Amino acid sequence: MNEKLFSLLDSYYDDMVALRRHLHQHPELSFEEKETPALIEAFYKDLGVEVKTGVGGNGVTAVIKGGKPGKTVALRADFDALPIEDEKDVPYKSKISGKMHACGHDGHTATLLHLAKALHLMKEELPGTYVMIHQHAEEYAPGGAISMIEDGCLDGVDAVFGTHLWVTGELGDIEYRTGPIMAAADRFEIKIQGAGGHGAQPHKTKDAVVAGSQLVTSLQQIAARRVNPVESAVVSVGSFVAENAFNVIADSAKLIGTARTFAPEVRDLVEKEIGRITEGTCISTDCTYEYDYIRGYPAVVNHEKETDYLVRVVNDMPGVTAVESEMQMGGEDFAYYLEHRPGTFFFTGAKPEGVDVPYPHHHPKFDLNEKAMLIAAKTLGAAAIKYHNEN
């Protein structure tokens, strides 16, 4: 059965590339997607596949029912872009100023659509049901996954699989991991209020910049001295703004940053410690503060059984290698699917050819090896079929 699936996917490769490049030229930001879901809907209607739009907002789902009884497996791809100017010199460069597919979601969409086409043509031979989840707004919390789940995209689903095209991974590598594979991704904002004044008279001020500078340094003690060394945590301040003239001591400063963790108890600790250290710093500098900790996506935690299916599928695929992944500190709202259903999320190596160090995800010159889409489609399809055959 896999042989037929793979043969069909091979024959679709040129179309897959063409569709990915079309999407790359017409990116849409999170929660603003209109043309992309319309394109997805039209693709399924042309196939004669049952499709539902407006799922949880801008999401789309499609259902392919096999000709034999079985369980229901969901396969997910996201389709939103990022507010980044495309700086690549390629024919398929983004045509929309300030918007770009800089994370591979265009490839995810082209992959899943053509996998669906193959499964649809094979449906009479297949067991069970296949739910294609095309998700909007992965890049911007609260994300599209949670609203699509609330709108029923996982109703009746027994297991869920997803992949991310990964430009730091070698072409042909499938990077998997049982348990946590991607971190919880949270945001914090701290506003420090002091009392400004003349730069030549610091004794008459409460310097918000000095307080903020102390705070940036002190926050690094959380991961270094408060979190158990066998656990993982990142606390990074990404923005520190206190605009003023060169000879004026600022009366306020705003810090914005991110915290990344895996274990729920570590997540709670980090949130508490940021607040505690902020309070102590402001007491010592005689400033006041406002602190807001915004929880983003939870950690992506893969299930053992479904990850085992994946590894066994990959081991049977010629030219593809299963490689155990390190835990990644990036976040992904696929986490919500795995909180509701068993499944696994993996990385498909997509390093561009002839490149030693590829431009990373979210970079203005990001690009991927389009051959990885074919590998991703084959892996997702074979894993879903194996799940059906063994359940």
* Active-site residue set: 80, 138
Q: Of 85, 6, 92, 34, which is closest to residue 370 (Cα–Cα)?
A: 92
Cα torsion through 166, 167, 173, 175, rounded to 10: -30
Q: Is 153 annotated as a binding residue?
A: no
- State the CB neighbour count (10 A cutoff) for residue 277: 21
CB 360 within 8 A of CB 366: yes
> What is the radius of gyration, based on Cα positions, of the chain?
23
Other beta carbons within 10 angstroms of residue 268's beta carbon come to 11
The answer to whether residues 36 and 23 touch, using CB atoms and an 8 Å cutoff, is yes
Rounded distance between C-alpha atoms, residue 135 and residue 105, angstroms:
10
In which order are the strands placed within the sheet that holds 288-297? 233-241, 252-261, 184-193, 288-297
Contacts of 27 (CB under 8 A, 6+ apart): 81, 82, 94, 96, 99, 100, 101, 106
Determine contact, residues 300/181, Cβ cutoff 8 Å.
yes
Whether residue 142 has a cis bond before it, omega within 30° of 0: yes
| DSSP three-state, residue 98 | coil
Question: How many residues are given for the chain?
Answer: 391
Check if the beta carbon of residue 93 is closer than 8 Å to that of residue 25: yes
Does 164 count as an annotated binding residue?
Answer: yes
Q: Which tokens belong to 63?
A: 């259902």
Residue 114 in marked binding region: no
Nearest 10 degrees: CA dihedral of 334, 351, 314, 124?
Answer: 70
CA-closest candidate to residue 255, choices 273, 269, 237: 237
**One-letter amino acid of 265:** E
**CA 258/CA 317 separation, integer angstroms:** 39
Summarize the annotated binding site as residue ranges: 103, 105, 139, 164, 362
**Which residues sit in the known binding site for Mn(2+)?**
103, 105, 139, 164, 362
